[in-house]
Structure 1
Amino acid sequence: MLTMPVVSESSPSPDARTRLARAAVEAFATRGFHGTTTRDISTAAGMSPAALYVHHRSKEELLFELSRVGHLRVLEMVRESVAGSDDPVEQLGILVEDFVRDHAVVHTGARVINYELAALSEEHLAEIVAIRHEIDLVVRDVIDRGVAAGVFHTPDAHMTALAVLSLGIDVARWFRDEGRWTPDQVAVHYRLLALRMAGSVA
């Protein structure tokens, strides 16, 4: 679900792991996981081809680490998004704005960790799926409480939660920095869409 600002943030002297992570994100986004070689990554990071194996046992392990860190960061973000209010309408609105804005700002990395899941090993994929489930539960809980309070009207909170998250994730696929809308504009619009999907009466 989202990816890591640690990969996209600039720093005066990034360490080797950070340089490899940035290079991997760009390479995977451009060529796809299977079209990217370890040499592509290490060369883009300004290192020798053997350097990647000092930090990661394989290209797949590097993708897993990117995905694990990214998904854990998003899980923490959505939990923080709902922590400041007890109102399900406000909680869902803030959560969606934060989630969508994040996927727009770090769209390249978010695209990689959400659309290259099939390249992960069975064990690694299971770990990422478990984190994604925790993210889903945060959204579903907000919608469930909204239904119970009579402020949301949706026949299936689980399906609505999945639909809301899917919309947010898809922002990473189409958003471009030079495009028509800013991350904030997209986030505000998606907040409105999500509340309508949940059947908000507010």
Structure 2
Amino acid sequence: MTEGSSKAEQTRGRLLRAAVEAFAERGFHGTTTRDLAAAAGMSPAAVYVHYPSKEDLLYQLSLAGHRKTLALIDEHDDSGAAPATRLHRLIRAFALHHAADHTTARIVNYELSSLAPEHLAEIRTLRREITRRVRAVIDDGVAAGAFATADPRAVTLAILSMNIDIARWYVDGGSMKPDSLADSYADLALRMVEARPD
């Protein structure tokens, strides 16, 4: 990597961090290119050198956020574990992510309607894959007789929804710490699938 490209990468990263702060404070539609530039310490014209539009910044944040979630699933889904252990570990990591990185997660999950149609289609494909992978864990547990739920589809959607929603309300420094919250949500997921003792 050349020095020029390294500097460009650093600038793009600074703009993405500025976008997170600005979108979190003002929302996508309430944020101007001037706001983004000011937060990143550059001129509005310089923003367009690195990103063609404000929407592209949101798209890049969404893309990275959803890819990070898929990587998290890859890392924490142990298909060789007992079904309850497997689901607990996965949902604990999912909840912890949405608490610890709640600002970015809120933007990634709650500003979807601001994406351009082609970008939204791509993000929806990633979201369907996230759902498919979590559903597969639950289906495997049902097939093994470890989960008694009669409606794996509804339970999958409910578990994902409650975890994603952490990003909407979670605040740093509150009474609920990320680790204990993640434990509680993972325990709740096991109750929702009606997990039988291993």
Among candidates 60, 76, 81, match of residue 55 of structure 2: 60
2:105 counterpart of 1:110? yes
For 1:124-157, what per-residue CA distance to the aligned partner results, in whole angstroms no more than 9, with x for missing partners?
0010010011111111001001111111011111
2:84 counterpart of 1:82? no
AA paired with 2:31?
T
Q: TM-score, normalised by structure 1?
A: 0.91
**Quick one: distance in 2 between partners of 1:61 and 1:169?**
23
**Cα RMSD for the two superposed structures:** 1.1
AA paired with 1:129?
R
AA paired with 1:122?
P
Of structures 1 and 2, the one scoring higher in RCO (CA 8 A, sep 6+) is 1
Q: What is aligned with 1:10?
A: none
**Quick one: distance in 2 between partners of 1:87 and 1:127?**
33
Among candidates 64, 75, 100, match of residue 69 of structure 1: 64
Q: CA deviation at 1:86?
A: 3.3
**Quick one: distance in 2 between partners of 1:93 and 1:39?**
44
SS of aligned partner of 1:83: coil
The 5 A counterparts of 1:1-202 are: 15-83=10-78, 85-202=80-197
The number of aligned residues is: 189
Q: CA deviation at 1:159?
A: 1.4
SS of aligned partner of 1:15: helix
Identity value in percent: 53
Q: CA deviation at 1:178?
A: 1.2
Q: CA deviation at 1:52?
A: 1.2
AA paired with 1:181?
M
**Quick one: distance in 2 between partners of 1:43 and 1:161?**
41
For 1:69-120, what per-residue CA distance to the aligned partner results, in whole angstroms no more than 9, with x for missing partners?
1100111111221136332211110111100001101100000010000000
Larger Rg: 2
**Quick one: distance in 2 between partners of 1:59 and 1:111?**
17
Q: What is aligned with 1:5?
A: none
Q: TM-score, normalised by structure 2?
A: 0.93
**Quick one: distance in 1 between partners of 2:67 and 2:48?**
24
Where in structure 1 are there 5+ consecutive unaligned residues? 1-13
AA paired with 2:105?
A
AA paired with 1:105?
A
**Quick one: distance in 2 between partners of 1:75 and 1:48?**
35
**Quick one: distance in 1 between partners of 2:101 and 2:75?**
19
Q: Is the 8 A contact 1:79 1:138 kept in 2?
A: no
Q: CA deviation at 1:23?
A: 0.7
Q: Which runs of 4+ in 1 moved over 4 A?
A: none
